[in-house]
Amino acid sequence: MILDEIATGLVLGIIYGGMSSIVIMLISIAFRYFTGEQFSSIMGIIIGLGIVGISGGLLAILDQPTVGGGVQILAASLIIALGVKYGDRMAVKMPKQGISLYKMFSRAKKKGSIIVKMPSENLIRNLAGKPRVMDSLKKELSGKEFTFPSGLPIENLVERVRRQLMTDWGLGDVEVELNEEGEVTYLAVADREQSISETIDFGYVALPLEYDVAPSEVAPRDIVRIRLEDDTYIHRAEVKGIDREYRTITIIVEEGLLEKYEGKRAKQIIALPTYRPAPLVKDIMTASVKTITVDEDVQSAVKLMNKFKIGDVVVVEEKRPIGIVTDRDVLERIAETGLIPKSIKIKDVMSTPPITIEPNGTIEEAIELMKSKKVKKLLVVDDEELVGIVTIKDFLRIGKIVS
């Protein structure tokens, strides 16, 4: 009798759960598609059971619990949860480009949202001591934009960015820093840990070697040269793992070389460079430049600087930069002379002509230009149109020192 009741409850749970899971799957797709967040499985189960309760009488079952009713609820809940998961996966794979409904929705919510743009692939770093992310994934991630609700505290926004990168992009760990405007100032990533056999190509083996000396930050996916105890070399090998406590490094070698190197000790591990294209000016510049027209007064420039907590504004004429006004210009040319800022036009205090560079200029070219012109900022101009600004702080951020 009880078995019949369980079987009946299971069948009814599958039927009613399947019916409500269709609705829940659509809700999950829409939620992920328009918000970028994963729909809660618990919320989906609550809504789904509510739908089944209306059409299938589960509310009555809850009033008078039975074994069959419990099985029915459990089966329905599991199917609804699967609907939430499947809907979320479908939404992640759906292209958003060219869909007018998405664009209309995006425009409507821009005022209440903040867009976080990922940096260029050259500025996405690897987390030291953790599995390295492949360059192809960094390239795919480069320039991607994520939309979040505006007004979030920076620490909450950072955590959301981190969670989305780990959830949607399959990363194992993420360190990210944002400034007050939501711009990424630092991003370091690591791949997920995998079983070693999954990552070894046919014809190769993972060979552990005890070692004496190794670089402090050598990590999986580094390319190394190894000097063995008999002063012979393994000229090039990929690192799969390193155990610093037991001073053991695991490398990938051809299977035919296993007998040659097995049981030997490494005297020294030498890290070799991997080719990465040097970042260009466009990769490190700040694109959101605050501008002012030549006929406005100095007080307007000061208000703009105070509002956005910046030290300069660019003077433009039909998108073409013709000068720059810095906080130092205001202090030297107005405050010391006792002039009233509102009565002075921008054109009377701006520094002109501005020193400019093209977006595809190299970092070295930008540094040399700063040194020769004795300036700390360069305006980035493409076909005479202002597209960004680059400062000494940008060079320090990527490890370039400007004397």
Position 403 in a domain: no
CA 18, CA 83: separation in Å to the nearest integer? 8
Q: Are residues 78 and 112 in the same domain?
A: no
Task: Show the tokens assigned to 158.
Answer: 């950072």
Q: Are residues 179 and 152 in the same domain?
A: yes
3-state secondary structure of 241: strand
- 283 vs 199, residue with greater confidence: 283
Q: Are residues 171 and 253 in the same domain?
A: no
**Mean pLDDT over all residues of the chain?**
82
1-10, long-range: CB < 8 A, 24+ apart? 2/67, 5/66, 5/67, 5/68, 5/71, 6/67, 6/68, 6/71, 8/68, 9/66, 9/67, 9/68, 9/69, 9/70, 9/71, 9/72, 9/75, 10/71, 10/72, 10/75
pLDDT tens-digit profile of 261-285? 988 999 999 988 766 667 889 988 9
Q: Are residues 289 and 265 in the same domain?
A: no
Q: Are residues 382 and 289 in the same domain?
A: yes
Residue 170's pLDDT is 80
Query: Where residue 357 sits, what CATH number does that domain have?
Result: 3.10.580.10
Q: Are residues 298 and 380 in the same domain?
A: yes
CA 326, CA 270: separation in Å to the nearest integer? 48
Number of domains in the chain: 4
pLDDT tens-digit profile of 347-369? 888 888 999 999 999 988 999 99
Q: Are residues 301 and 340 in the same domain?
A: yes
> At a CB cut-off of 8 Å and minimum separation 6, what does 60 contact?
none
- Select from 146, 171, 190 the last residue of a domain: 190
User: Does the pLDDT of residue 180 top 70, yes or no?
Assistant: yes
Position 402 in a domain: no
pTM strictly above 0.85: no
3-state secondary structure of 305: helix
Q: Are residues 235 and 154 in the same domain?
A: no
Mean pLDDT of 182-189: 90
Position 308 in a domain: yes
Q: Are residues 358 and 383 in the same domain?
A: yes
Q: Are residues 176 and 206 in the same domain?
A: no
Q: Are residues 356 and 302 in the same domain?
A: yes
- Select from 35, 67, 93 the last residue of a domain: 93
- Select from 213, 239, 272 the last residue of a domain: 272
User: Does the pLDDT of residue 108 top 60, yes or no?
Assistant: no
CA 207, CA 59: separation in Å to the nearest integer? 62
DSSP string, 159-184: HHHHHHHHHHS--SEEEEEE-TTS-E
* Full domain range(s) for residue 237: 196-272
